[in-house]
Structure 1
Amino acid sequence: MTGTSGRVGAAIAAALDAAGWAVRGVDRVTGQWTGVVGDLRDPGVRRAALHGCDLVIHAAALHAPHVGRVDDEEFRAVNVGATEALLEEAGRARVRRVVYISSTSVYGHALVPTDRAVWVDEGLPPRPRDIYDETKLAAERLVASSALTPVVLRIARCFPEPPRTLAVHLLHRAVGLSDVAAAAVRVAEHDTVAGTFNIAGPYPFTRADCLPLHRDAAGVIAERVPEVAAAFRDRNWPLPRTLDRIYDSGAAAAAFGYRPVHGVRQLLGAP
């Protein structure tokens, strides 16, 4: 597994280890789950990482916070060039499957609502808005076209945030780190699964809610999950007036049994 010294990569590696997998981690910096330290652009690092492996989970990348701080060519070299080289080496090493950790950020401009919240499933065409989106989408396409059995997991927003912000995001666009790790383990165990899947949280809304959520999200939340609305009131937090998108993980549920459990109720201790 690549990127095992990062927050998401380390969580996935730990979950795989707990599920009985022998994990060999590779990253540019040291970490608990990183046994091979080096840059994936180095052929020797790729060979050391992939020797004898059956499955590759590729999480290493430059991320959205690097936009504007790292040159675009470096983004392409790390996110696209290293992915292409890793796939080529994986083919030579007779790896059977590759799972690429991508991001719902690739939907880009398609996430901007017009008269209703955007229902984001895998049928929504990505419209990248920056070099991060562009390179993640390019890497997805390399993985999807490889001779290995390919899986792309587009994970929703997944990083620490202030409590009220996180609570709002867990209503419609964020995912718990433990759910991301569980999704990777589930897909690793389903060795015939292939395709692209959103990995998001357990949200209380349906596609039919998109119009009212854009117009009066607070009213919909109070009606649909009154215990969450009460928890917001208890903390003197305003409910959001509008929601711009809802991520749909239904395809992952159907394909490999993904069932997210860490949502806004769990964060707030709501019944």
Structure 2
Amino acid sequence: MAEPTTHAAHGTGTVLVAGGTGFIGSAVVRALLSGADSGAPDLRVLSSRGASVVPHADGVRHLGADLTRPETLRGVCEDVTTLVHAASYVGRDPDRCEAVNHLGVRALLDEARRARVARVIYLSTASVYGTGPHRGAGEEEITPRPLSPASASRLRGESAVLDAGGIVLRPHLIYGEGDRWVVPALARMLTAVPDWPAHTRPLTSVISLRDLARCVAALVRDHEAARGPAIYHAADPRPLPFGRLLLALHRVLGLPLPPGDISPAEHRAGIQQAMPGFSDHQYALVTQDHWYDARRLWERSGQRPGPLFEEQFAACRDWYARQPA
């Protein structure tokens, strides 16, 4: 992307957050609004709902567009300095995966290129690596092998961003207010089968939504740090032993503390019967090591990880207590 001439090089300028009403995007918007010593940037939020949503704050402009209809994107990047792309489709419809996560990314990048947007930050997923075990690999040390249409299409979206000189962030498990996938899925597992496979306490990479949003906001504000192309693992640099995660679920949410007396085969069979839509890949993500070296992101963003997992997770108690079992 070319450096635009309409903004000072040291200023944040105008930031467009695609998917800014979603789980990650809304947190990025909050971080940009609350963390700037020199005042909040000029913010635009792009979503399919547009101005029909409740605005985050005065001065946040909501735009409606559909990534699968490139004609609706015309003009959304005018005078934008930084594009944060946090919109994705994570379902199992392969045609929609391709339309949103690959072709939709390319369509928005075309518009950003036409408007001479300087920087692009794309929120992807470590699921592009497929099933592990993965143990402490750096960004250049592991070859992506996506197993689902969603992950494969997001990898193609990544490629388009990198070709455009952008930054790609790959988080693994994200927890925090708004999470409807990670902790709720674990809660359903423990409710359906109140045990855990014996001798299975893997290490996993997690990051709180707040920490992820802080890192993105820091990259937005620091033009040098946000220069690409580059890929960063987005995780707490301290891999989390799964036993600590299970203990936190017990202490904070009252879920069963699994004794770990069941065999892996028996546990998997029980989960398959109770949760038939839970794939082998999803099961492996929580029963095998999946942790990644994320030091580069913290160094590049100039941020420090937040409190330990237990403290940050406990702060989300009210949100998770309201989620259906």
Using the size of structure 1 for normalisation, the TM-score is 0.75
- Out of 111, 117, 120, which is 1:98 matched to? 120
Relative to 1, partners in 2 of residues 1:165 and 1:183: Cα closer, same or farther, differing over 3 Å?
Answer: farther
- Out of 114, 125, 146, which is 2:143 matched to? 125
Residue 81 of structure 2 is aligned to residue 51 of structure 1: no
Does the residue aligned with 1:4 lie in a helix, a strand or coil?
coil
Alpha-carbon displacement from aligned partner over 1:157-200 (angstroms, at most 9, x marks no partner): 2224249769x999723221111111110111221232110111
8 Å contact 1:170–1:203 — kept in the other structure?
no
Letter in 2 for 1:81: L
Does the residue aligned with 1:95 lie in a helix, a strand or coil?
coil
Worse overlay, 135-144 or 170-179: 170-179
Counterpart of 2:100 in structure 1 is 78
Residue 65 of structure 2 is aligned to residue 38 of structure 1: yes
Q: Partners of 2:84 and 2:300 in 1: how far apart?
A: 18
Counterpart of 2:257 in structure 1 is 237
Q: Note the C-alpha offset of 1:239.
A: 7.6
Counterpart of 1:15 in structure 2 is 31
Does the residue aligned with 1:78 lie in a helix, a strand or coil?
helix
Alpha-carbon displacement from aligned partner over 1:72-99 (angstroms, at most 9, x marks no partner): 1221111111111111111110110101
Does the residue aligned with 1:261 lie in a helix, a strand or coil?
coil
- Out of 175, 181, 186, which is 2:218 matched to? 186
Counterpart of 1:134 in structure 2 is 152
Letter in 2 for 1:244: D
Q: Partners of 1:12 and 1:175 in 2: how far apart?
A: 14
Q: Partners of 1:243 and 1:92 in 2: how far apart?
A: 44
Q: Partners of 1:172 and 1:120 in 2: how far apart?
A: 12
- Out of 44, 49, 68, which is 1:24 matched to? 44
> Any unmatched runs of 5+ in structure 1?
206-212, 222-227
Relative to 1, partners in 2 of residues 1:173 and 1:243: Cα closer, same or farther, differing over 3 Å?
Answer: same
8 Å contact 1:128–1:134 — kept in the other structure?
yes
What percentage of residue pairs aligned between the two structures are identical?
26
Letter in 1 for 2:145: R
Relative to 1, partners in 2 of residues 1:130 and 1:164: Cα closer, same or farther, differing over 3 Å?
Answer: closer
8 Å contact 1:55–1:98 — kept in the other structure?
yes
Q: Partners of 2:29 and 2:206 in 1: how far apart?
A: 21
Residue 215 of structure 2 is aligned to residue 197 of structure 1: no
Letter in 2 for 1:119: G
Counterpart of 1:251 in structure 2 is 296
Letter in 1 for 2:218: R
Q: Partners of 1:239 and 1:180 in 2: how far apart?
A: 32
8 Å contact 2:20–2:26 — kept in the other structure?
yes
Relative to 1, partners in 2 of residues 1:76 and 1:40: Cα closer, same or farther, differing over 3 Å?
Answer: same
Q: Pick the structure with more helix per residue.
A: 1
Alpha-carbon displacement from aligned partner over 1:133-165 (angstroms, at most 9, x marks no partner): 10111110110011xx41111122222424976
Relative to 1, partners in 2 of residues 1:262 and 1:23: Cα closer, same or farther, differing over 3 Å?
Answer: farther
Q: Partners of 1:262 and 1:179 in 2: how far apart?
A: 10
1:258-269 to structure 2, matched below 5 A, reads 258-266=303-311, 267-268=313-314
Q: Partners of 2:158 and 2:211 in 1: how far apart?
A: 21
- Out of 87, 100, 105, which is 2:109 matched to? 87
Q: Partners of 2:250 and 2:64 in 1: how far apart?
A: 48
8 Å contact 2:202–2:289 — kept in the other structure?
no
Across the aligned residues of Structure 1 and Structure 2, the Cα RMSD in angstroms comes to 3.2
Counterpart of 1:3 in structure 2 is 19
Q: Partners of 1:45 and 1:99 in 2: how far apart?
A: 21
8 Å contact 1:170–1:264 — kept in the other structure?
no
> Any unmatched runs of 5+ in structure 2?
1-16, 189-195, 262-286, 316-325
8 Å contact 1:175–1:262 — kept in the other structure?
no
Q: Partners of 2:302 and 2:259 in 1: how far apart?
A: 32
